[in-house]
Amino acid sequence: MRFDGRRGGQLAVVRLSWSLGLVLIALLTWAAAAPAQSNLAEPATSVSEIREVAGALRSDPVYVSGDAEPGLTESEAQALRERIRSADAGPIYVALLAAGRSSTEMGAALQELYRRARRRGTYVIVSGNQLRADSDTLDGVPALADEAVSAQSGQGVNAVLTDLLDRVAQGRSGAVGTANPGNGNGDGGGSGAGLLLIGGLAVGAGGLAVASRRRRRKADAAELEEVKDNVRDDLVALGDDIRLLDIDMELDTTPQPAKEAYGQAVGAYERAEQTWEMARSPEDLEPVGAALEEGRYAMVVAKSLVEGRQPPERRPPCFFDPRHGPSTHDVEWAPPYGEPRLVPACQADAVRLQSGEDPRVRELMVNGARTPYYNAGPAYAPFAGGFYGGFGGGLLPGLLIGSMLGGGMGMGMGAGTAYGDGGGWGGDFGGGGGGDFGGGDFGGGGGDFGG
């Protein structure tokens, strides 16, 4: 493949169409995400606030709002960060928000934070004297939150959070508790055999913890390898399409804007490839999706200019397969057992749907079986989300969460039990059926910790 190294800025035609595209995309994003966002009350749990918190948590596992009451001192917040790292409680994300939320709003805020952060792990939110927590990587976190609240009742938010982090760390390591030495007679004595037994148990527990961490690292490495193998197909597809334009770029008759667009496509491809090679976690692949979207649109612009056509506006990629390029229509579509939802579709898939045919859906090899990319699981969410992150933020999660798909990348997050005022949460995003992921519905336990 011959790559023209010129990259330049955005094309003039891209800039001209961007404002119109942004308006359309904003409307689409609102329509797609409305069922999920309608569960959030304004102003107590605004989407903009949760978006800000989610962005902060990507670089700092502890977020304390300036309006949080009770809050944490800087030293307490730093101690929690250190505990997350040293106790192997992570990935865990803690957010202290302003008070004034009902238990229903707490559940909605927890789910919205999880949706927007797009990181696997344990999530904890505190608002006033209420705490909610859940995880997609560890079973039983709501119960652990209940236990922490009960154990530290009246001791304040820092004590509750510290206790919860320790319980999460123990859960991740496979520990089930600690022994209490002594003979039960109050003299602190004990037989040599008892001490040996306790020592043996301690060594055994330590060995189990080490083995658990090794298994987790091995599983994570295998998962990343599979994800990267699937992502490589998208890289190859864009590279092949760019190569088809090589000869046109050699011609003197090729318009300069087309060559500039070609250079931009090449630059985006190279960024995607370099980021792919350096990726050490599924989260590292989000910029790959973003670069591939940029490169594919630039390639479409270049091809249009070479053929003497007006380049299309920049719209979100086709939902069914981002490799199809920019969408041309918003179509109504529903997966099996799901409710209809507007999604962006390319011209070919829009025609297929209008004709009663199935769209050409991007499938991935996951655990040895082919599955639609939007049902591939949370490890694929960062990469897939990268294709849509530049279109109002949260477009892909808005399409996937709740009644539309229920499981897969949307995690099928239910709400669990509400705490604090005795209320109950009425359903997951969009009111549709959910599943569970990682052993439980993502909704959160916790309670009123007082003091």
CATH code where residue 65 lies: 3.10.310.50
pLDDT tens digit sequence for 68-109: 887 888 889 999 988 888 766 668 899 999 888 777 788 888
Which of 30-34, 126-130, 352-356, 393-397 is the least confident region?
Answer: 30-34
pLDDT band for 119, please (50, 70, 90 cuts).
Answer: confident
Section 4-30 average pLDDT: 39
The answer to whether the beta carbons of residues 408 and 373 sit under 8 Å apart is no
pLDDT over threshold 70, residue 202: no
Is residue 236 domain-shared with residue 290, that is, in the same domain?
A: yes
- pLDDT of 129 reads 83
Which of 259-268, 375-384, 398-407 is the least confident region?
Answer: 398-407
- pLDDT of 405 reads 37
- pLDDT of 210 reads 66
Section 422-432 average pLDDT: 27
Give the sign of the dihedral formed by CA 442, CA 443, CA 445, CA 448. Answer: positive
Taking CA atoms, 131 is separated from 106, 126, 420, 449, in Å, by 8, 4, 8, 8
Whether residue 350 lies inside any domain: the answer is: yes
Is residue 54 domain-shared with residue 169, that is, in the same domain?
A: yes
Is residue 225 domain-shared with residue 139, that is, in the same domain?
A: no
Candidates 236, 160, 175, 235; CA nearest to 208 is 175
Is residue 382 domain-shared with residue 236, that is, in the same domain?
A: yes
Candidates 283, 394, 409, 435; CA nearest to 40 is 394
Whether residue 190 lies inside any domain: the answer is: no
Candidates 92, 216, 123; CA nearest to 413 is 123
- pLDDT of 207 reads 65
- pLDDT of 297 reads 96
Is residue 296 domain-shared with residue 161, that is, in the same domain?
A: no
- pLDDT of 293 reads 95
Section 405-426 average pLDDT: 30
- pLDDT of 118 reads 72
- pLDDT of 296 reads 95
pLDDT over threshold 90, residue 285: yes
Is residue 284 domain-shared with residue 373, that is, in the same domain?
A: yes
Whether residue 2 lies inside any domain: the answer is: no
- pLDDT of 251 reads 92
- Residues sharing a CB contact under 8 Å with residue 264, sequence separation 6 or more, in sequence order: 7, 8, 10, 11, 294, 295, 298
pLDDT over threshold 60, residue 399: no
Is residue 286 domain-shared with residue 421, that is, in the same domain?
A: no
* Structure-token match 């490495």, residue found: 221
Whether residue 346 lies inside any domain: the answer is: yes
Is residue 396 domain-shared with residue 427, that is, in the same domain?
A: no
Which of 125-129, 284-288, 418-422 is the least confident region?
Answer: 418-422
- pLDDT of 212 reads 67
Which of 43-47, 166-170, 304-308 is the least confident region?
Answer: 43-47
Share of the chain above pLDDT 70, in %: 66
Is residue 232 domain-shared with residue 381, that is, in the same domain?
A: yes
Whether residue 6 lies inside any domain: the answer is: no
**What is the count of structural domains for the chain?**
2
Is residue 249 domain-shared with residue 280, that is, in the same domain?
A: yes
Domain range for 266 is 12-27+218-400
Whether residue 247 lies inside any domain: the answer is: yes
- Residues sharing a CB contact under 8 Å with residue 393, sequence separation 6 or more, in sequence order: 29, 51, 116
Whether residue 3 lies inside any domain: the answer is: no
Whether residue 189 lies inside any domain: the answer is: no
Which of 188-192, 227-231, 304-308 is the least confident region?
Answer: 188-192
Section 210-228 average pLDDT: 82
Is residue 242 domain-shared with residue 284, that is, in the same domain?
A: yes
Is residue 131 domain-shared with residue 244, that is, in the same domain?
A: no
